[in-house]
Amino acid sequence: MSATIPADNLPLPHMALSRWGTEAEARDLGEGIRGLLRDVLGVTAAGGARFDPAAVTASPSRLSGTDLAALAGVVGAGNVSVDDAQRLPRARGKSTPDLLAWRLRPAVDCPDAVVAPRDDDEVAALLDWCGREGVAVVPFGGGTSVVGGLTPDAGGHRAVISLDLAHFDALESIDAESGEAVLGAGLSGPRAEDLLAAHGFSLGHFPQSFPYATMGGYAMTRSSGQSSAGYGRFDEMVRGLTVVTPVGVMEAGRAPASAAGPDLRQWLLGSEGAFGVCTRVRVRIHPVPEVVRHEAFRFPDFATGAAALRAVEQQGTGPTVIRLSDEVETMVNLATATESIGEAAEGADGDGAGADPGGCLCLCLFEGTAEHAESRLAETRAVLLAHGGASLGPGPARSWEHGRFGAPVLRDSLLDNGALVETLETATDWSALPALRDAVAQALTAALEASGTPALVMCHISHVYPTGASLYFTVVAGQRGRDPIAQWYDAKRAACEAIVATGGTITHHHAVGVDHRPYLEAEIGEVGVRMLRAVKNAVDPHGVCNPGTLIP
C-alpha cells in the first residue's frame, strides 16, 4: 500500500472494484440463463475467470511529498489521498473490458492521487497548479463510464490526479415558477430525485446508470434516459451549466432561447472533461407525476414495430417511455424482468401462460395527471394497434419498470461464468435504420464467430425522434482464448466500422471517451476536429484536462 494521507472528507465510490454495483447487489444466474448459455453458446461456469482481490496491485504514486502538500494546501489534507483504496476504484470505468481487466490484468495503472475540491475556487486553483506542474486531471463523478472516459492517462505529463466531485452534491436552488433547479455536478441520480421530490418536482432522467451516475456525468456525456420520449435527453434539459476551465470559469446559458451567437452550452455538453470541470447544472424540472400508466404491445416483426414507433413519434401522441425489442431480445425475455431471462415471455395475462414467444415486444409508460396520462395512452394505443400491434396489457411494462436497472448487475455474473457480454449503441434516420441494424449485427456475429464462439446479438429501439431513432445492441458470446478483452475489442472495432460505413453516429449516449475516439473524425470531419482542437488549446493551453479522451 502507498503511504497514507488522512482523507476524512473523501468518500469511497459506491460501486465495487470488479463489478457494476455493490457486493450486496451481486446475483447468481437463474436456471433459464444458465440453460441459454449452455445450449445456445456452449458457455459453462468452468470457462470464466474470477476476480482475485489479493492479486491486485496499484501503480505507485508519482507525486512527491511537496506535491501532496501543495494539493492539501488547496483543498485541505482531508480531501487528498494516495491510498490504494482510494486510487484503485477511480482507475477504471465499468465497460466489459474494464471489468475483465480486474480479473485478467490485476496490475493496475492508477491515478497518482485523488483530490476532492469543495468549491469552484478550489477547482480553479487545482487546474492552475496542474498546468504549472505538468499534472493531468481526470474528473470523477459516479464512475460509470463504459467507453474509457475515466482512464487515468497522463497524456505525456508527469502524473495524473482523479478530481472527485463528491462535495458538489447539493440542490443549490430551485425556481418553482420557472420550473428550474441548480444541481451540483456530484449529485447522483437517486439523490437528486429525492431532493427535488421534497419540493414536489422531478428531473425525470433515468438512464440505466441511474443508481450511480451523477449530474455532471450526465451533462459531460450527453446522457439519454429511458424517459427521453417524454422529457428529452439530458442535454435538452440543461438550461445552463458551470464549467471551470484552466483559463477561467465558463457560465453558459441565460435566457430560455437566444440568438446571441452560437450556443456555447453545446461546446461544453458532451465535452467529457476535455475543456474543464463541470461543477453544476441548471436544469428543467417538472412536477412529480400523479400517475404512471403502463401498456405493452407485440408486433409480428421488427420492421412493423419500428414503423409503428415512427408513427407514434411523428404524430406526437406523447408516451413518456416507448421501446421496441427485436425478435431475439423478445425471445430470451431480456426486455422485461432480468431474473426471467431465458424463460417464457409474459403474455396478456401477465404470467406468461400461453404467451406467443415470437414477434417483438413494445413497452410504453405514460406519466402525468390521471386525465393526461389516460388520454396519451389511448391515443398511442390507437396508433400502435392500427400499425399491427396487439395489446398485452400492463404486465410486461410493469415488469420492465420494476427491474430496469438490473441488467448491468447481471453482467458481472455472466462474466464470472465464462460469457462475454457487452452493449453498444448508435442512431440514424428512420429510413436508414434497417440497414444500420443489419450491418452492426452482421459485423458483431462475424467477428465473434471468427474468434471461435457463436454470438447472440440482440437489439432494441431505446430512444425515438421525429426523424430517426437509436439502436441499442446487447451481445452475448463465449469468452475465447487467453485474452477475451482483445476478443471483444476486435468485435467492437468491426461494429464501429460498420456504423461509420452505414452512416450512423458512433455513439448515441455512451459518449466518445477513448473507445470511440478513432472514429470521431469520420463523423465530424477534418474541420470539426480542428474546431475541437482550437477550443481545447484556447481553454486548456497545457493540455492537462482528461488527455486521451474525445479529441482525435
Question: Over the stretch 300-325, which tens digit does the pLDDT of each residue have?
Answer: 999 999 999 999 999 999 999 999 99
For the cut 70, the answer to whether the pLDDT of residue 341 exceeds it is no
Residues whose CB is less than 8 angstroms from the CB of residue 97 and which lie 6 or more positions away in sequence, other chains included = 485, 488, 489
CA Rg, the chain, in Å? Answer: 23
DSSP-derived pairing of the beta strands 159-164 and 135-140:
parallel
Which residue type occupies 5?
A: I
Residue range 485-506, pLDDT digits in tens:
999 999 999 999 999 999 999 9
How far apart CA 410 and CA 29 sit, in angstroms, is 8
Tell me if 63 sits within 8 A of 129, measured CB to CB. Answer: no
Q: What is the pLDDT of residue 272?
A: 98
Residue-wise pLDDT for 361-401, tens only, equals 999 999 999 999 999 999 999 999 999 999 999 999 999 99
pLDDT above 90 as % of the chain: 86
Report which of 437, 438, 428, 431 is spatially closest to residue 503, judged by C-alpha positions: 428
Burial of 177 (0-12, 13-18, 19+ CB in 10 A): exposed
514-525 average pLDDT score:
98
Q: Which residues, at least 6 apart from 64, have a Cβ–Cβ distance to it below 8 Å? A: none
- What average pLDDT score do residues 416-421 get? 93
Full DSSP string of 335-349: TS-GGGTTSPPP-TT
Q: Answer for the pair 301, 324: CB distance below 8 angstroms, yes or no.
A: no
Provide, rounded to the nearest whole percent, the portion of the chain with pLDDT above 70. 94
How do residues 118-169 score in pLDDT, each as one tens digit? Answer: 999 999 999 999 999 999 999 999 999 999 999 999 999 999 999 999 999 9
Q: Left if phi > 0, otherwise alpha if psi is -120 to 50, otherwise beta: which for 345?
A: beta
Residue 354 has pLDDT above 70, yes or no: no
What pLDDT is stored for residue 350 in this prediction?
A: 44
CB 116 within 8 A of CB 75: yes
Cell of 382: 390507437
Cβ count near 519 (within 10 Å): 18
Q: Is the pLDDT of residue 535 over 60?
A: yes
Question: What does the pLDDT read at residue 4?
Answer: 43
- Residue 357, pLDDT above cutoff 90: no
Contact assessment for residue 47 and residue 418, using Cβ atoms and an 8 Å cutoff: yes
pLDDT-derived band at 352, boundaries 50, 70, 90? very low
Q: What is the pTM of this model?
A: 0.94
The DSSP output letter for 214 is B
> Going along 263-410, which residue ranges are E strands?
277-284, 286-287, 291-299, 321-325, 360-368, 390-393
CB 135 within 8 A of CB 184: no
Side chain identity at residue 191, one-letter code: R
Residue type, 180: E
Asked whether the predicted pLDDT for residue 551 surpasses 60, the reply is yes
Q: How confident is the model at residue 32 (pLDDT cuts 50, 70, 90)?
A: confident
Looking at residue 343, its pLDDT comes to: 55
CA distance readout (Å), 406 to 27, 244, 337? 10, 35, 8
Q: Write down the pLDDT at residue 195.
A: 98
CA dihedral 103, 207, 396, 437 (to 10 degrees): -80
Q: Is residue 9 predicted with pLDDT exceeding 90? A: no
Q: How many CB atoms lie within 10 A of CB 46?
A: 7
Does pLDDT of 338 surpass 70? no
Residues 135, 130: Cα–Cα separation, whole Å: 5
Q: In this predicted model, what pLDDT tens digit does every residue of 423-439 receive, in sequence order? A: 999 999 999 999 999 99
Dist. CA 483–CA 467, nearest whole Å: 41
Instruction: Please provide the average confidence, as pLDDT, over all residues in the chain.
Output: 93
Q: Under a CB-based contact definition with an 8 Å cutoff, are residues 161 and 137 in contact?
A: yes
pLDDT reading at 221 higher than 90:
yes
**Other Cβ atoms within 10 Å of 76 Cβ, number:** 17
Please compute the mean of the pLDDT values over residues 197-219 and round it to a whole number: 97
Lowest mean pLDDT among 22-31, 130-139, 227-236: 22-31
